[in-house]
Amino acid sequence: MYVVGRNGTLGDVANRDYQDKVLRDLELDTIQCDEIWSFCYAKERAVRTAKAAPLFAGDIWTWTALDSDSKLIVSWLVGGRDADYAIEFIDDLRARLVNRVQLTTDGHHAYLDAVEGVFGADVDYAQLIKLYGASPDKGPERKYSPSICKGARKRRVEGKPDPKHISTSHVERHNLTMRMSLRRFTRLTNAFSKKINNHCHALALYFLHYNFCRIHKTLKISPAMAAGVTDTLRDMEWIVSLIDARAPKPGPRGPYKKKNSK
């Protein structure tokens, strides 16, 4: 799903529209949701002093909903991490499902109102709340060390979620796949996105390739095939064909005008 920077390139529009069309009426069992951080142009604390910072400069969050069985990315959204984006994200996810699912998120408070407002009682929803402690590392490198997870607490919110499937492990593992596959998500480099549109274009291409072209190492097929969306493994030529199909036909060429050379 594409929220910010709607005036995308032709390639992005083709990728976004195709996924928006085919990822519908999905019958899935367990969905895991998470958000992954990145930034555009400059980190949030540096935007105030940055020269000519564009719109949407600063922290950018990518919300993802992953089917735990097929590893399909059902829905995604780029933007902030507040309640409005949570509602937009969960609303899009709900519109793609045809059955009651078990949903697990992290402890982000914005999910609570969003899930209740969109799903109501028609969901088995739980939160996995992880408890973190300070990193034991000392010295300047400490700021680059992740916090230590000291434990996790499962919290039932709605319905009757199966405790065995209250997990965010699969979607968090996919966050690593995104960081390894998209240079824009790599930390401590100059490969970050300079414009929000370019950031979303890269994500649209990534999710299309991930869902339809990339063979999952465990499943041995693509996530879209595992979810029953398609029975064909796609390739990059297919992605290019989607873009070509959206390209306007070239118009007739005008008469050739010879320039007068002096």
Quick check: is 253 in a domain?
Answer: no
Q: Where are the beta strands (DSSP E) in the chain?
A: 30-40, 58-67, 73-79, 102-105, 124-133, 148-158
> Alpha-carbon distance 208 to 213, whole Å?
7
Which of 53, 33, 257 minimizes the C-alpha distance to 128? 33
Residue 3 domain-assigned (yes or no): no
Q: Cα torsion at 232, 234, 237, 242 (round to 10°)?
A: 80
Counted domains in the chain: 1
Evaluate if pTM is beyond 0.95.
no
259 in a structural domain = no
Q: Kindly state whether residue 42 falls inside one of the protein's structural domains.
A: yes
Domain that holds residue 177: 10-245
Residue 256 covered by a domain: no
Please give the chain's pLDDT, 262 residues, in tens: 444 433 334 445 666 788 989 999 999 999 999 999 999 998 888 888 888 888 888 999 999 999 999 999 999 999 999 999 999 999 999 999 999 999 999 999 999 999 999 999 999 999 999 877 666 666 665 565 667 777 789 999 999 999 999 999 999 999 999 999 999 998 888 899 998 888 988 998 999 999 999 999 999 999 999 999 999 999 999 998 988 887 777 777 777 777 666 5
CA distance 46 to 101: 41
Identify whether 131 is part of a domain: yes
Asked if the structure places residue 255 within a domain, the reply is no
Q: What is the enclosing helix (H) or strand (E) of 86?
A: helix 83-95
CATH number at residue 232: 3.30.420.10
Residue 250 maps to a domain: no
